[in-house]
Amino acid sequence: MTDSVDVQTDTVDETIIIVVEEIDGRTLVQMFEGAAGWFERNVPHINNLNVFPVPDGDTGTNMMLTLQSALKELRALSEEQLHVSIVADKMARGALMGARGNSGVILSQILRGFARGLEEKRQATLSDLVAAFHHASDSGYKAVANPVEGTILTVIREAAEAAKSYANGATDRNILSFWTRIVNAAKEAELRTPEMLPVLKEAGVTDSGGHGLWVFLEGARRHLSGEKSDYTLSIDDDEVSEMMATVGHPTKGGSLDDEWGYDIQYLITARPGQPLDLEAIREHITDMGECPLVVGDETLIKVHVHCPNPGPAIEYGATQGSLSDVVVEDMDMQAQEFLVDADEESDAGATKITATSTAEATGIGIVAVAPSDALSDVFHGLGVAEMVSGGQTMNPSTQDILEAVEACGTETVIILPNNKNIILSANQVHELTDVDVRVLPTRTVPQGIAAAMSFNFSADIESNLAAMEEAVQHVQTGEVTTGVRNTTVGGVEVEEGDIIGMLNGKLVVSTKSVLETTRTLLSQIDLDEYEIVTFFHGDNLPEEDAQAIIDQLADEYDELELELMEGGQPHYHFIFSVE
């Protein structure tokens, strides 16, 4: 094989100038190692760009753990496997398996797209890399249901546009010059993110995920240019555990809306000689209703959508291919039936759920994520088969969730992420297993508990999902924690050490005491519609102190039933549900 890197001996300030006209697999591995090493050095700075003052899975930490998983795959390659296509594919698969948090999942999808652009390439030219960046941007945007500009997505898109622009006007094919143009475009895009997202402008920072992507690209450029970066990548498993104990940054996500009348599902099988157009079908179905899920390939596609009228959705599917496994459920009727059943059999049902998991009784497993043993016990008591340790500051990887799914030993599994920063990781599991995986995108522990409580042992998977989604919509979540930085979010000023309160994920109050913050959170809810408030006290709030707070609140809210339970969660003094 001809060496694809031509190193010239001319130097400027003792820096070797490297001219690269094409890269082979070994060079791509070295670029990735250089990028990951440079990223590791910059993790603290990336984490410090966090907008919100709450403890959560840090953007920099999550992206670094994702890169670490990719590196493990690369280091297992043999000499014979050092083709660009194989290296890129292994890099993408490793990132997907280790993806943590929204930022890690989006990064893994960017790498997946990059690999798609290099398929069947032994070496990569400038034109090949242009295609790779195009696919990287496309995959990044497709990773989220509602792409938001002013984030890592903007940065990868403008980097891809710069790649195409350079190739169209370049007088040489020097990949170093090409990559430098991309890095500069990524930085320019990052610096403009506050203009696109008011929350960034208010906090006086750029987007942390976008900055992380720029750091990654810059690390690769530094390797190509021969610049000394003095990096060493030495994260072992113990260090990974330490990184998962850091604090950080939540990202925005969507929510479910279950006011549509019918749940429609079916399979489309391609007719001979007529491959299915996944993206066109996904776009059409998305426009037809809520909660769209369209996955598969050119031979077989699974469609799920909530619509007020099932007819058009089914008719459209029939025009695309052969339909099978068509299921149409009236969700309003299911919800009413479920409420009647739950009311008549609540005591017996509770005993049954405690004794038997859903997997044993119905063949439908439930996997839930929880941040403590005490909360895991609550979920087990509700019939959850497998638990994954994680939550705030410790976002589990896709691999962690996959192992729990397969441990259920059932053909169908429902995943309850219970944290908005874990939903994307959970959504990747279906690509890695033959199990029929359904992700109910619960964003808080109380939502997950409400969903698990709504599982009907006599109902099928679709009926249960409808009932669980309905239950999630009727629970309010309050979280009380300590602010970890000075900032202003949504008009709420926070000083480091303040006791802050989140209502359904939104920062609404900052005071100097747990009692005052909790009281203010409750005042933000129309309590006339609710009856029970269940408080889970964290490991940083002794039970006697928690009980004293609840006793005082009980005097003020005598129309409500207030319950106190051990939560054991780190960082959060209280997590509470209002039902």
pLDDT of residue 228: 58
Identify whether 417 is part of a domain.
Answer: yes
| Sequence-separated (6 or more) residues with CB below 8 Å from residue 38 | 215, 216, 218, 219, 222, 229, 231
Residue recorded with tokens 């942390």 = 208
Residues 137 and 17 in one domain: yes
The answer to whether residues 121 and 128 touch, using CB atoms and an 8 Å cutoff, is yes
Identify whether 326 is part of a domain.
Answer: yes
**Quick one: average pLDDT of 192-220?**
91
Identify whether 530 is part of a domain.
Answer: yes
Global model pTM greater than 0.75: no
| The pLDDT of residue 249 is above 50 | no
Residues 99 and 225 in one domain: yes
CATH number at residue 323: 3.30.70
CATH number at residue 15: 1.25.40.340
pLDDT of residue 361: 65
Residues 259 and 235 in one domain: no
Residue 415: strand pairing partners: 367, 439
In whole angstroms, what is the distance from residue 194 CA to residue 523 CA? Answer: 32
**Confidence bin at 75 (pLDDT 50/70/90):** confident
**Quick one: average pLDDT of 324-333?**
64
Identify whether 152 is part of a domain.
Answer: yes
Residue recorded with tokens 């490991």 = 539
Residues 105 and 60 in one domain: yes
pLDDT of residue 315: 79
The answer to whether residues 392 and 55 touch, using CB atoms and an 8 Å cutoff, is yes
Q: Which of 299, 330, 361 is the last residue of a domain?
A: 330
Q: If you write DSSP's letter for every residue of 116-152 in order, what string do you get?
A: HTTTT-SEEEHHHHHHHHHHHHHHHHHTSSS--SSSH
pLDDT of residue 245: 41
Residues 420 and 448 in one domain: yes
**Confidence bin at 53 (pLDDT 50/70/90):** low
Considering only 45-54, 343-352, 373-382, which range has the smallest mean pLDDT?
343-352
- In the chain, how many domains are there? 4
**Quick one: average pLDDT of 535-555?**
93
| The pLDDT of residue 95 is above 90 | no
Among residues of the chain, what percentage have pLDDT more than 70? 81
CATH number at residue 373: 3.40.50.510
Q: Which of 192, 213, 243 is the last residue of a domain?
A: 243
* Burial track 402-435 (b if 16+ CB lie within 10 A, e otherwise): bbbbbebebebbbbbbbbbbbbbbbbbbbebeeb
Identify whether 340 is part of a domain.
Answer: no
| The pLDDT of residue 545 is above 90 | yes
pLDDT of residue 334: 46
pLDDT of residue 413: 95
**Confidence bin at 298 (pLDDT 50/70/90):** confident
Identify whether 471 is part of a domain.
Answer: no
In whole angstroms, what is the distance from residue 255 CA to residue 208 CA? Answer: 23
Identify whether 279 is part of a domain.
Answer: yes
Higher pLDDT, 309 or 107: 107
**Quick one: average pLDDT of 67-79?**
89
Identify whether 164 is part of a domain.
Answer: yes
pLDDT of residue 521: 94
**Confidence bin at 1 (pLDDT 50/70/90):** very low
Angle at Cα 426 formed by Cα 422 and Cα 430, nearest 5°?
Answer: 170
| The pLDDT of residue 391 is above 80 | no
**Confidence bin at 7 (pLDDT 50/70/90):** very low
pLDDT of residue 297: 65
The answer to whether residues 100 and 212 touch, using CB atoms and an 8 Å cutoff, is no
CATH number at residue 534: 3.30.1180.10
pLDDT of residue 350: 28
Q: Which of 219, 243, 267 is the last residue of a domain?
A: 243
Higher pLDDT, 319 or 163: 163
**Quick one: average pLDDT of 128-134?**
95
Residue recorded with tokens 């479920």 = 338
| The pLDDT of residue 420 is above 50 | yes
pLDDT of residue 271: 85
Q: Which residues span the domain enclosing 286?
A: 254-330
| The pLDDT of residue 348 is above 80 | no
Among residues of the chain, what percentage have pLDDT more than 90? 43
Residues 499 and 375 in one domain: no
| The pLDDT of residue 93 is above 90 | no
**Quick one: average pLDDT of 358-380?**
86
